[in-house]
């Protein structure tokens, strides 16, 4: 197959290109080489077209393409409200322009990077009210060290549960809002073009080539960078927040499977959670990394961030049934390896 891969120079894109080529596919790469992601003195790979989806046409690159694999995005959670326009421009306007170009050039199969952040706080079970989204956590509770969310109706204790792809969207950050919008644009494009899209909702991706700590980095990069500086990872809240850490090679494999099978999917957008299927608390994850690095034990700070969700875990069962995807790297193995994996330092 001939694939147009956007974000080809990025953390996940690099792994997708390698795996797709190893399976005999031809990969045409494009990347904007944004200074925020690649540094001001970036030396672009001449094999990757330098294009910015916000402003540059890509019709020429789409000629003869079977599937577009769209990874280019501004990532992170967003630091403050001033980031909103940049997320909208990169992730939403950029994707909309790509979809319009695909319509002009007759490319009808798309695989796109989405995220579990579309689910926001996930879903919980309340002994009184049943299945509920949790209430937004109150400052007073957080200051008192009560980090578990409450039932939005009875305000009592609730228990998190694993969620499926039919869970309602509840975006809590600029990035999450942009990923929800991106899925909606892709879905509208499918209707207009009788086209097919697969949205892969990634959990917390980690592994070799991960960008080092920036204000927009996720927790695995932050902890790994702290260890590289000889510092202990600083764990927020009580360290009991639950996530699913999925290795970048597993995420790349899910993309290759989706690329190979999107044409057999029905018209419209199909979403799959991409996760290891194994939960880890942030405290366990920090301890695993610190142990593997032989560094100082993690520090529990008790700090909290307003926009953080407490627990979010989505089931990868649909990706197993629909794509034949199962993660191969157990988080305790991959996270221990992350202690010595090279990071991208821009
Ligand atoms: C992360 C990504 C998000 C991505 C999603 C799924 C970022 C900033 N967030 O969201 O873009 O879509 O995974 O792949 O890239 N924490 C600490 N210490 C720190 C930093 C964070 O304990 O120094 C804790 C936070 O309080 C939180 C957890 O780690 O409970 C995860 O934080 P983070 O990785 O920033 O955000 P996610 O919500 O998991």
Tokens of 130: 């049943």
How far apart are alpha carbons 60 and 121 in whole angstroms?
41
Are 219 and 292 spatial neighbours (Cβ–Cβ below 8 Å)? no
Catalogue the long-range contacts made by 16-19 (C-beta closer than 8 Å, 24 or more residues apart): 16/69, 16/71, 16/252, 16/255, 16/256, 18/252, 19/249, 19/252, 19/253, 19/255, 19/256
pLDDT per residue as tens digits for the range 167-205 = 999 998 999 999 999 999 999 999 999 999 999 999 999
Residues 6 or more apart in contact with residue 167 via CB below 8 angstroms:
119, 122, 123, 314
Tokens of 194: 């009788």
Look at phi and psi of residue 294 and say left if phi exceeds 0, alpha if psi is from -120 to 50, else beta.
left
Return mean pLDDT, the chain. Answer: 95
pLDDT at residue 149 in the model = 96
pLDDT per residue as tens digits for the range 228-279 = 899 999 999 999 999 999 999 999 999 999 999 999 999 999 999 999 999 9
* Average confidence (pLDDT) over 294-312: 91
pLDDT at residue 247 in the model = 97
Pocket of ligand 1 (CB under 6 A): 75-77, 115-117, 175, 202-205, 216-219, 222, 234-237, 241, 243, 282, 305, 308-309
How far apart are alpha carbons 18 and 180 in whole angstroms?
28
Tokens of 99: 């979809």
- From the alpha carbon of 220, which atom of ligand 1 is closest? 34
| 152 Cα–ligand 1 center, Å | 23
How far apart are alpha carbons 109 and 57 in whole angstroms?
19
pLDDT per residue as tens digits for the range 94-149 = 999 999 999 999 999 999 999 999 999 999 999 999 999 999 999 999 999 999 99
Specify burial of residue 139 (Cβ count, 10 A radius: 0-12, 13-18, 19+): exposed
Q: Has residue 40 got a pLDDT over 90? A: no
- From the alpha carbon of 301, which atom of ligand 1 is closest? 22
HSE-CB at 159 with a 13 A cutoff on CA atoms is: 5
Look at phi and psi of residue 328 and say left if phi exceeds 0, alpha if psi is from -120 to 50, else beta.
alpha
How far apart are alpha carbons 234 and 286 in whole angstroms?
8
Q: What percent of the chain has pLDDT over 90?
A: 88
How far separated are the first and last CA of the chain, in Å rounded?
31
Q: What percent of the chain has pLDDT over 70?
A: 100
pLDDT at residue 36 in the model = 81
Lowest mean pLDDT among 40-49, 56-65, 97-106: 40-49
Residue 346 binned pLDDT confidence (cut-offs 50, 70, 90): low
């Amino acid at each position: 197959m001939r694939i147009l891969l956007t974000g080809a120079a990025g953390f996940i894109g690099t792994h997708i290109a390698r795996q797709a080529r190893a399976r005999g596919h031809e990969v045409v790469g494009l990347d904007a080489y944004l200074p925020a992601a690649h540094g001001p003195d970036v030396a672009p790979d001449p094999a990757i077209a330098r294009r910015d989806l916000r402003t540059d046409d890509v019709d020429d690159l789409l000629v003869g393409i079977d599937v577009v694999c769209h990874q280019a995005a501004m990532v992170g959670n967003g630091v403050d409200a001033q980031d909103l326009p940049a997320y909208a421009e990169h992730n939403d306007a950029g994707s909309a322009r790509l979809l319009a170009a695909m319509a002009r050039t007759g490319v009808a199969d798309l695989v796109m990077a989405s995220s579990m952040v579309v689910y926001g706080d996930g879903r919980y079970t309340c002994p009184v009210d049943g299945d509920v989204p949790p209430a937004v956590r109150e400052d007073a509770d957080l200051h008192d060290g009560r980090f578990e969310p409450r039932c939005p109706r009875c305000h009592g204790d609730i228990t998190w549960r694993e969620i499926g792809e039919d869970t309602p969207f509840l975006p809590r950050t600029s990035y999450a809002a942009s990923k929800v919008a991106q899925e909606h644009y892709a879905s509208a494009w499918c209707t207009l073009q009788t086209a097919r899209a697969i949205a892969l909702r990634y959990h917390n991706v980690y592994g070799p080539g991960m960008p080092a700590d920036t204000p927009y980095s996720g927790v695995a990069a932050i902890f790994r960078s702290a260890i590289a500086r000889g510092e202990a990872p600083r764990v927020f809240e009580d360290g009991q927040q639950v996530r699913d850490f999925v290795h970048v090679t597993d995420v790349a494999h899910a993309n290759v499977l989706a690329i190979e099978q999107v044409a057999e999917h029905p018209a419209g957008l199909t979403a799959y959670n991409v996760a290891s299927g194994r939960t880890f608390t942030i405290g366990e994850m920090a301890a695993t990394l610190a142990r593997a690095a032989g560094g100082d034990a993690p520090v529990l700070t008790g700090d909290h961030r307003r926009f953080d969700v407490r627990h979010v875990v989505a089931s990868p069962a649909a990706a197993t049934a629909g794509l034949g995807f199962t993660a191969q790297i157990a988080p305790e193995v991959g996270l221990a390896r992350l202690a010595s994996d090279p990071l991208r330092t821009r």
